[in-house]
Structure 1
Amino acid sequence: MTSKEENKNIIEEFRSQKNKNTLGNYLKKNAWTEDLAGETRIYLVKDSEGKVALYFSLKCGLLFSKKQYDKLEDDERKFVDILVDAKRDNDLETIKSYYEYGSSEFSDIDRLFKIAEKRIDLKNETQEFGGKNTLAVAECFSGIELRHFCRNEAYHTPEDLKTPLGFGIFWEVIVREIFKITQKIGCKYLYLFAADKTENSDIKKLVRYYKSALKFYECDEDDIIIIRPEYDEDCYGLIQEITKLSSNQEAVWQEFSDVYV
């Protein structure tokens, strides 16, 4: 956006009344500064006459998976906690008694013992190398966040345009930018937070649209965690594997060919 000074005036004509005008206000009040600083990259999608039809933004992100400890049931977690204390004290008699007790209470006592050992190792590593500001997780995944994706309500879509604006721009403009980025840096996931205010979770229209037309999906909370900032507090997190974007792109045009041609 900031590559052309004229865009500063163009964005003043952008209109978006959805979600209390937050997306429209962001573009006019914060987007220029963030784009100029390199914090978030803002893209204006214009027609042949230079009118803005839509804007979107991309930002580097991070996802992670839970440690095995965090996936445990409450009773298993409590058992591991007391086991960690006993192991750190090197209380062999108590550890032996815990093993006998745990064997009768849990289906896989050896797994719990391994998790306890891992927790001790992680605590030691954090204290020695990471310090208190280091968060130990099982695995990290690089990502690109589609932070904003907003249509200009003041833009009049040409009558002969049969393809829905957001659909076409996502698959032919945004995905193209993602491919350019991933030629230079490694990224595993594309993700977004859908600002869907629908009260009934069974009929969330925006989420359903992102799933069916743009091929995003919900991540299993036991496998992948999306870091959601306060800015997106009421939004719905969805992800998509970047390696599947190309095949999804081809499939979706085939799937909706009878509608979008």
Structure 2
Amino acid sequence: MIKNENGQPCLFFALKCGALFEPFDEQKLEIQIEQAKNILEMLSNPDADEEKRKKLFAKLECIRQQGNMTVDQVITAVVERANSQKTTYQNALKMLENDRIREGKRPILRVGKTYSGVEITHFCTDDNVVEVMKDNWKKEGFRYPIGQTLFWYKIVPIICKLQESAGCQFAFLFAADKTPDGALTTYYNVALKFEKLQNVGTSKPFYDFCCEFMSQEVNNLKTGRDFFLNNFNPDMDDEII
């Protein structure tokens, strides 16, 4: 809880450890296995699809020229790589199936990779207190809003301290944005630098249904805080809005 000089709570927040992940794409593995099989088939079977064989050998010729290799060297390298990839992808699918058998019906979400994180579960201001503070805030000429300032000045250092002991790579939250124009998510993005990353996900509890998942790397938070503090006090020539 962050209080003003009169001891009144103007903002409270809560943090907890969490985890993010990259999805495990089973269908993609199956496609990659088929692609490796197709390459091996076209190289070993003269009766394979002629059009596909032409495209493959055109690619092999580019590889040959770039690597200053013979045709046999290129074909050998491609065959070895295709065989290796096929084996790797097939083993991954076998491991997936064996894991499902081993764990039984337990509700386990299997993913490609996990990342440690810290979730901002609550980030709320007391409007009654903050509205009174806003007048004094403007009189002092601060260029940034109260919530944004308290986030970078008070909350981010705690998250960075957590990283030292828990190795948190990401910070994330669920934005309870009910505005038609997405004003809150825009605020989190522009002012606090959270993003709607497409390559990572997390488990979302019922409490946060219809809230938008946003995240950023903790190392980026450190950079963002340095920039915020270095630019907090306006220059004499800056216009105060």
Q: Which has the higher helix share?
A: 2
Residue 144 of structure 1: aligned partner: 118
Aligned length: 193
SS in 1 for 2:219: helix
Per-residue CA distance 1:93-147 (angstroms, 9 max, x = gap)? xxx89x759x969x9xx5577434311122213433x443233211111111111
Residue 22 of structure 1: aligned partner: none
Larger relative contact order (CA 8 Å, sep ≥ 6): 2
**Native 8 Å contact 2:163 2:169 kept in 1:** no
**Native 8 Å contact 2:134 2:146 kept in 1:** no
SS in 1 for 2:91: helix
Percent identity of the aligned residues?
Answer: 30
Residue 197 of structure 2: aligned partner: 219
CA distance in 2, matches of 1:236, 1:255: 29
What pairs with 1:59-138 in structure 2 (closer than 5 Å)?
Answer: 59-69=16-26, 72=28, 100=41, 110=82, 114-128=88-102, 130-133=103-106, 134-138=108-112
CA distance in 2, matches of 1:112, 1:253: 52
Residue 188 of structure 1: aligned partner: 169
Match of residue 153, structure 1, among 113, 127, 150: 127
SS in 2 for 1:187: coil
**Native 8 Å contact 1:80 1:113 kept in 2:** no
Q: 1:113 to 1:196 in 2, by over 3 A?
A: farther
Q: Which runs of 5+ in 1 are unaligned?
A: 1-43, 84-95
Pair 1:210-2:188 in alignment: yes
Residue 178 of structure 1: aligned partner: 159
Pair 1:169-2:143 in alignment: no
Residue 58 of structure 1: aligned partner: 15
CA distance in 1, matches of 2:175, 2:208: 9
Q: 1:52 to 1:260 in 2, by over 3 A?
A: farther
RMSD: 3.4
TM-score (norm 1): 0.62
Deviation at 1:260, TM superposition (A): 7.7
Deviation at 1:80, TM superposition (A): 8.2
TM-score (norm 2): 0.67
Q: Which runs of 5+ in 2 are unaligned?
A: 43-47, 57-81
Deviation at 1:239, TM superposition (A): 0.5
Deviation at 1:196, TM superposition (A): 1.2
SS in 1 for 2:116: strand
Per-residue CA distance 1:35-59 (angstroms, 9 max, x = gap)? xxxxxxxxx1111211010111111
Q: 1:207 to 1:131 in 2, by over 3 A?
A: same
Residue 228 of structure 2: aligned partner: 252
Q: Which amino acid aligns with 1:138?
A: G
Q: Which amino acid aligns with 2:92?
A: K
